[in-house]
Amino acid sequence: MLCDIGAIMADPEKRPLYDALMAVKPDYLSKNAWATLAGVNRNVFQDIKARNNATELTIQKLLAAAGVSRAEFARAMGEDEPQPAASGTVASPVSAFRHDRPRDVPVLGTPACHDLTFGNDRIETIDIDFDDVIDYVRRPPGLDGRSDVYAIYFTGYSMIPRFEPDEVGYVDPRRPPSIGDYVVVQLRGNGEDRIAAALVKRLVRRTAAYVELEQFNPPATFRLPTERIARMHRIMPLIELVGI
């Protein structure tokens, strides 16, 4: 077995399994996306954190989906040598992703989140400062050659389970969003040119007069007049990031 709970507990130099997985988790994958890509239960990380254990097949699938080698994971666990792989090792669907990918995609500042009211709906917003680059994240292979993309750290809880706080989203300002896409919307103040807030939501409908958006928590679908929208950028799905 790759993960022997008795051995882990007996050796204080070895990291908890959950911590080791988080150490090798690629920036471009949220925990939900990682579990989905690996074909395992989306509660897998909660279970691993609680029990400090997982099956050999689960670990194989997670490492394969992230493009992480046994040697890399062994080092994250604090092991001197990687243990041999079991038969039937799962091939990686994103083997092009490696930890040596360049860390050069700028993360824009999202310093706060707050609520606005549209009709009877309480809508969570964020602030985005396009002049404040607070970090850089690794460039997925699907973004090679792109100098216009940027990233944000999600804040707040309105789009759980799709996006969770502190996860990374890669944003494409070039390709127009389609219905069903997740978007970053910069919102003007009423009768003003200045940017009053930004929204991370799902695009439901778009007309010449308004844009209809959806959030999950609390559930709400609402409309914004077109004149209040300064920019609307598409959040890129995982399949584009991996270059499939």
The whole-angstrom separation of Cα 14 and Cα 104 is: 31
* pLDDT for res 201: 96
Residue 242: C-alpha distances to residues 50, 134, 149, 150 (Å): 30, 24, 15, 16
Residue 59 contacts residue 88 (beta carbons within 8 Å):
no
Instruction: Quickly name the fold that domain 5-77 has.
Output: 434 Repressor (Amino-terminal Domain) (1.10.260)
Question: Would 5-77 and 103-241 be classified into the same CATH topology?
Answer: no
> Could you tell me the pLDDT band of residue 33, with boundaries at 50, 70 and 90?
confident
Lowest mean pLDDT among 83-97, 202-216, 222-236: 83-97
Burial class of residue 199 in the structure, from the number of CB atoms within 10 Å of its CB (0-12 exposed, 13-18 middle, 19+ buried): buried
User: Does residue 87 register a pLDDT over 50?
Assistant: no
**What is this structure's pTM?**
0.70
Domain-by-domain residue ranges, the chain? 5-77, 103-241
Per-residue pLDDT reduced to its tens digit, 209-223? 999 999 999 999 999
Closest CA to 42 of 51, 30, 60, 52: 30
Per-residue pLDDT reduced to its tens digit, 142-181? 899 999 999 998 888 899 888 888 788 999 999 999 999 9
Q: Which residue has the tokens 């939900």?
A: 32
209-215 long-range contacts, Cβ below 8 Å, gap at least 24? 211/185, 213/183, 213/185, 215/123, 215/124, 215/158, 215/159
Residue 219 contacts residue 118 (beta carbons within 8 Å):
no
- Does 176 or 9 have the greater pLDDT score? 176
CATH number of 103-241: 2.10.109.10
The whole-angstrom separation of Cα 124 and Cα 156 is: 7
* pLDDT for res 76: 86
